[in-house]
Structure 1
């Protein structure tokens, strides 16, 4: 059920032709766009999905999650549970603190976690991911700089905010936010990844659908008010979305405009939550508009550049460059010859690869069966790949780079490339797409894998046991 009112662009001061050009430019660009929603004056004036992606599917947001964690911190401060100037060490006991607390660690405050100015010289998340004792590891890391003096993007800092909130409230972050934010917004689909030590990860791992993220964008435009009720203090969002610290050392132009409390400042007086591989909640306060994008790209700046070139002029009432909009927005399966008949044997692989692939069988009818180990609980799931249109299946947990709360809906297709069986798998609740090229030589199968986006290497080769 729609939670935001719909309107024609013209009724909200926009041109349908201009928005068609914006959609055409997004479709023609290199970033793979999956869903888009645009709000103007509280109304949805544009909503598009590139088949087989769907606006109603929840989608893994990566670091857009941080802006929701910021919201929780603002609520907890309003409830008197903590303050910006509380020392980080004050929330943890001696069993988690290092034997010697350095001056810089002692000086680290909640505001430094929020503004990514903890004093660390690099993101701490890689160090945290090596062990289930993430809080203890964070507190034991060297703090090279005085907190507040250096901006370093740091997902581990957001994890610590979640840990602090869980200590104070006795609830995981998602449970704390459900009655205060998600339920009022109608976000019954929300899930959030939990660490091995039982803490909502905070800085990543939130999955919601496109309209829920649009509701969040509208909440920001309304300064925390929703349907006549002040859900989040207006003062908090004013501070969180303002430039709290400089970040001039960042490279891309829209990532060096300043940082707030888990929100990025952008060009043209915008601010946003954004997540890896092209997830955006981009707010235009001067134009009472918000743009929501889910996508799969390593060039997030390209999506913002398209917004500046085609959407911003439309919001300003200026002429927009004309770009033809396709009749159908889709990401079709790769085209190719039908796969050759297989030998029906099961080829097994060590399951510690980045997609958790444990076995492959190509049958005489040219259908491939791929078995994956669930990266969250070691259960196994089979995905069948055959020629033709996308084939929808369910395989929770089998997601590249992890993401145990997402990935239930998978679409597959296959084609033949000479003696190779080529399978394409789309985890459509995430940005991830895998292409697996399988060849048999004697008793051995080799699988050459390629991921469209990944935090790990995007290419790998597996050889059967």
Structure 2
């Protein structure tokens, strides 16, 4: 996270200069009553729940869809970030040798290049040689094609390769690929000897006191480790706090802090102020007259869990604005507005 702080300080200067444009065309920063009124009036689409945690304490939690507090919501691809945590735990447990290990030996017989050189790190960073791009409906690996099949594993393992060359960073070009993250779940299963959801429940959710999580499955019963996870807002606050505290929970080191640091190191720049690490996004959030660093679990519809180190805070937005063009704008309006209710805690991380 310290490496990202320098980066975000530089970005903040650029973002302040363009703040008036962003406010006119992008998200808004509202006071909390105005935000709640806008949500209740339907101005921000179907936002289901908001929650804020700061310093380990829940300071705000509100439901907007008429369902009980804590009723789970499908957070879509935001669930991919949990798979990154699962990979880190499997490495810490000694089940996986590391991020540079080839995945094909865990998945089946050798297939030749470029497939045999695909590593765990490639799939985490969305930069493998699989011809798979969810943002292109014509891609052979586009996720909707996978969902139409009965056995997702077979679909993913039979994907064609693409032209691939590693850059100076050690990674190839970015290509958003849910099928690749699904394969990561199969790697974790093979390495640990446990079904993916059982391993995550035992190793992560049970220590956090999280239950009632629902994973989407294929028609053959495979767990979708590539997202489409239905989970409660308070569970997401706990996951965000775990990451913000570098893998510690109630005095116990659940995940190696070095893995958290590596996971939140950017591998790709996807936009002017958008970065991607290991299945986690980095995008600054507006705070007062400037912007601050934030790492995010992020999914379709504007489902976001944002950890904000300089505020020692976790922000959760759960929505059902699926496949809506304005979903991110509405989610960031909620994030900016929630962050405006907090005071920064600049020494929060250095004290841990």
Could you state the TM-score of these two structures normalised by the residue count of structure 2?
Answer: 0.76
Q: For residues 334 and 176 of structure 2, what CA distance do their matches in structure 1 show?
A: 24
Partner of 1:413: none
Aligned partner of residue 258 in structure 1, secondary structure: strand
What is the CA deviation profile of residues 419-451 of structure 1, one whole-angstrom value per residue up to 9, with x for unaligned ones?
xxxxxxxxxxxxxxxxxxxxxxxxxxxxxxxxx
What are the residue-to-residue correspondences of 1:51-450 with 2, within 5 Å? 51-82=65-96, 83-94=98-109, 98=111, 101=112, 103-119=113-129, 120=131, 122-123=133-134, 124=141, 125-146=143-164, 148-248=171-271, 257-267=274-284, 268-297=292-321, 298=324, 299-307=326-334, 309-315=336-342
What is the CA deviation profile of residues 306-346 of structure 1, one whole-angstrom value per residue up to 9, with x for unaligned ones?
146433444357xxxxxxxxxxxxxxxxxxxxxxxxxxxxx
Aligned partner of residue 246 in structure 1, secondary structure: strand
Structure number having the greater helix percentage: 2
Give unpaired runs (5+ residues) of structure 1.
1-16, 318-465
Q: For residues 187 and 207 of structure 2, what CA distance do their matches in structure 1 show?
A: 24
CA root-mean-square deviation? 2.2
What is the CA deviation profile of residues 388-445 of structure 1, one whole-angstrom value per residue up to 9, with x for unaligned ones?
xxxxxxxxxxxxxxxxxxxxxxxxxxxxxxxxxxxxxxxxxxxxxxxxxxxxxxxxxx
Q: For residues 45 and 279 of structure 1, what CA distance do their matches in structure 2 show?
A: 20
Partner of 1:438: none
How far apart are residue 117 of structure 1 and its match?
Answer: 0.6
Q: For residues 243 and 37 of structure 2, what CA distance do their matches in structure 1 show?
A: 28
Q: For residues 145 and 336 of structure 2, what CA distance do their matches in structure 1 show?
A: 39
Are 2:78 and 2:299, in contact at CA under 8 Å, matched by a contact in 1? Answer: yes
Bigger radius of gyration: 1
Q: For residues 48 and 210 of structure 2, what CA distance do their matches in structure 1 show?
A: 20
What is the CA deviation profile of residues 237-274 of structure 1, one whole-angstrom value per residue up to 9, with x for unaligned ones?
112122122224xxxx6xx6111111111123111112
Partner of 1:30: 44
Which aligned runs of 4 or more in structure 1 are off by greater than 4 angstroms?
25-28
Aligned partner of residue 272 in structure 1, secondary structure: strand
What is the CA deviation profile of residues 77-119 of structure 1, one whole-angstrom value per residue up to 9, with x for unaligned ones?
111222111112121333xx65xx2x22222111010011113
Are 1:25 and 1:306, in contact at CA under 8 Å, matched by a contact in 2? Answer: no
**Bigger Cα displacement from structure 2, 276-285 vs 155-164:** 276-285
How far apart are residue 187 of structure 1 and its match?
Answer: 1.1
Structure number having the greater strand percentage: 1
